[in-house]
Amino acid sequence: MQRAQHRQPGQTEDAGRMGRTGRRAVRDVRAVGIRMRTAGAAVLAAALVLSSALPALAAPPGPASVSRRVCIDAGHGGTDPGAINGTLREKDLTLDIANRLSALLLNTGLGFSVVMMRTGDVTLGNTERATICNDGRADTVLSIHLNASSDPGVDYFRAFYGKKAKDAAFTQTVSDAYALTKPNSTEPLPKLAPTNFASGLLLKTDAPACLAETVFLTNLGEAAALGDGTGTRQQQIAQQLFSGLRAWYRV
């Protein structure tokens, strides 16, 4: 005996068939959705594997130059003594620091070469200095200076760029890497943010250029450290500038 099929009130036979068809369609759509999610997970997993196999992007800031040729400018010289504090003259100290920086670049086996702006007490104008760097095909130009103030308590580091597009990134790198401490102290030497300076040397050189006012010669503590005869303070300054160049060339 056939069992009667019960329908909901108002449901016709065709409507019942349509309901059953609709339920099958829903089940089919759910199955397709599950397959799509599974396929999507597989694609994501493959992408993660591929991305992990890719080499890391080269770190900023500067080019991985093959030559790594640095033009070192010992500020002032000859008839231009620069800042003076007692027997200490800026032109003598910048040359000392420049020679120490040159030795660090040449003797660490990192592939640096150096163009020295001056090796003695000679007078050079900004155009002459720029020509020396350009003719020497330098990758970077670093001009070394010591600052001065009427206040003997003032002491900080600041770097300057000439043309923003050419020099700003290099100057910022030198500044970021400069981590000198105050004389005979573990307290960091203050740093001011890099800024623009219309120096003829910075403007006329082809390579990225930075002028670094490393410390204040007129500061009492700096003058004592720079003039103690050991060269320790000069070496510390050279080491910080060396760190900036290493950061730029990523070595």
Tell whether 136 and 73 lie within a shared domain. Answer: yes
Rounded to 5 degrees, φ, ψ at 154 are -75, 135
Cβ of 160: how many Cβ atoms within 10 Å?
Answer: 21
Number of helices (H), then strands (E), in the chain = 7, 8
| 70 beta partners | 114, 140
Question: Would 236 be classed as within a structural domain?
Answer: yes
* Pair (29, 104) in one structural domain: no
Looking at residue 64, the DSSP 8-state letter turns out to be: -
pLDDT at 120: 97
pLDDT tens, position by position, for the chain (251 residues)?
Answer: 333 333 333 333 344 444 444 445 445 435 444 444 544 444 334 433 333 333 333 345 666 556 899 999 999 999 999 999 999 999 999 999 999 999 999 999 999 999 999 999 999 999 999 999 999 999 999 999 999 999 999 999 999 999 999 999 999 999 999 999 999 999 999 999 999 999 999 999 999 999 999 999 999 999 999 999 999 999 999 999 999 999 999 99
Q: Examine the domain organization and report whether 49 and 155 are in the same domain.
A: no
User: Which residue range forms the structural domain that includes residue 202?
Assistant: 69-249
Residue 81 lies in a domain: yes
Mapping DSSP to helix (H, G, I), strand (E, B) and coil, where does residue 87 land?
Answer: coil
- Domain membership of residue 222 (yes or no) is yes
76 and 61 in contact (C-beta within 8 Å)? Answer: no
Report the C-alpha gap between 241 and 32 in whole angstroms: 64
CA atoms within 13 A on the CB side of 141: 34
Q: Are residues 242 and 202 in the same domain?
A: yes
Residues 144 and 44 in one domain: no
Q: Are 105 and 70 in contact (CB under 8 A)?
A: yes
Asked whether residue 51 falls in the same domain as residue 110, the answer is: no
Structurally, the chain folds into a number of domains equal to 2
Indicate whether 3 belongs to any domain: no
Judge if 125 and 35 occupy the same domain: no
Domain co-membership, 191 together with 76: yes
Domain-located, residue 1:
no
Cβ-contact 203, 127 below 8 angstroms: no
Output the domain CATH number for residue 112. 3.40.630.40
Which of 37, 58, 79 lies at the terminal end of a domain, its last residue? 58
Token readout for 142 is: 């670093």
Entry pTM: 0.76
> Are residues 216 and 131 part of one domain?
yes
Please check whether residues 41 and 135 belong to one and the same domain. Answer: no
The region that residue 181 occupies, defined by phi over 0 for left and psi between -120 and 50 for alpha, beta otherwise, is beta
Same domain, 105 and 155: yes
Same domain? For 179 and 223 the reply is yes
Residue 232: inside a domain: yes
Residue 162 lies in a domain: yes
pLDDT of 85: 98
Q: Between the CA atoms of 73, 79, 84 and 88, what dihedral angle is there, to the nearest 10 degrees?
A: 70
